[in-house]
Structure 1
Amino acid sequence: MPFHAVTGHGPALDIDHIVPFAEAWDSGASKWTQERREQYANDLGAERSLVAVSLGPNRTKGDKDLAEWMPPARDATCTYATDWIAAKLRWKLSADRAEVKALRSVAAGCADVTVTFTLAP
């Protein structure tokens, strides 16, 4: 579930998990302890695990995986896919066939992209 921030000085933002909780659950988090799930939910140890996003696109994304949803801004797809892969690798989460197919499709349009990550503690 996203955190919602409202300000009087600009657009309202959500704090979004690159890989939504439901997707993480389906990809291996269901086997984690409650403590590990809390670590995932509050992961401030990776630069792109949690991101501030506008409300509209985040609400549209919901719990969808990368095969079901991509950012509406075409110039954001490579960054989103890279962050998705880094988060999955960081937390040792699996990817299903549809997800891998979508990632390959996106990657074909991304030049000189390197995925860097640090394993979660």
Structure 2
Amino acid sequence: MFSKIAAAAAALLALPLTAAPASAHEVRAEPLRLAAAVDLLPSGAESRDGYQRTSFKHWTDADKDSCTTRAEVLIAESRIEPTVETSCKVTAGEWYSYYDGVTLTTPGGLDIDHMVPLAEAWDSGASTWTPERREAYANDLSADRSLVAVTARSNRSKADQDPADWMPPLLDARCTYTADWVATKLRWQLAVDDRERAALSEMVAGCGQETVDYEQAP
């Protein structure tokens, strides 16, 4: 009897061990060095033919909680508990605009910037998307880098320019901005043209240990 039990135990020990599969949300790649992330960006010529801002439906209320995408970003990025009134109207808080190093306590002076502007996204591949995917892009609350509260002045200075033509006025912000830009383009598989790639590659040299972490959009 003992020998049979021992043999059975030995047989079990000899079986290969298999771990339970992890979910997609549990498996995350290590952040990429900025230079490696830039190399992953697809190349492509840009075209603005047919672009209209209305092609990207934005500031929606996807979860029907009365808070638009703009309000959601303001609430998430306030450094203190924000004041939110009826119908999710955000009236006070504390926001740091990292483009220019300005702190604001009322939201009136803030814009919610699309890290990669809508027109630039159109140029880089979004022109071929469905209206539903463009809406998802314009209201992307699933990635911290996609939307950012910044001063209206800095956002309007940026307009629809890519890093070949515009960088944040605060020098200390430029490496973070470059990583955020690259992460957003990789997340949505948006292309870069030659001038844009050259500008990003030039930034890499001065950005030391900057890394890029992103999840591809569904």
Which runs of 4 or more aligned residues in structure 1 lie more than 6 Å from their structure 2 counterparts after TM superposition?
1-6
Alignment partner of 1:28 is 2:125: yes
Q: How does 1:1-121 map to 2 (within 5 A)?
A: 9-10=105-106, 12-121=109-218
Gaps of 5+ in 1: none
Cα-to-partner distance string for 1:66-107 (whole Å, 9 max, x where unaligned): 111000000000000000000000000000000000001111
| Deviation at residue 47 of structure 1 after TM alignment | 1.0
Q: How large is the RMSD of aligned CA atoms in angstroms? A: 2.0
Identity of paired residues, percent?
Answer: 59
Which residue matches 2:64?
A: none
SS of equivalent residue, structure 2 residue 183: helix
Q: Which stretches in structure 2 are left out of the alignment for 5+ residues?
A: 1-52, 60-69, 75-89, 93-104
The structure number with the bigger radius of gyration is 2
Report the Cα offset of residue 7 of structure 1: 5.0
TM-score by length of 1: 0.92
TM norm structure 2: 0.52
1:20-46: CA deviation from partner (whole Å, max 9, x where unpaired): 000000000000000000000000010
Aligned-partner Cα distance in 1 for 2:91–2:172: 27
Q: How many residues align?
A: 121
1:115 maps to a residue whose letter is: V
Return the alpha-carbon distance in structure 2 between the equivalents of residues 27 and 111 of structure 1: 27
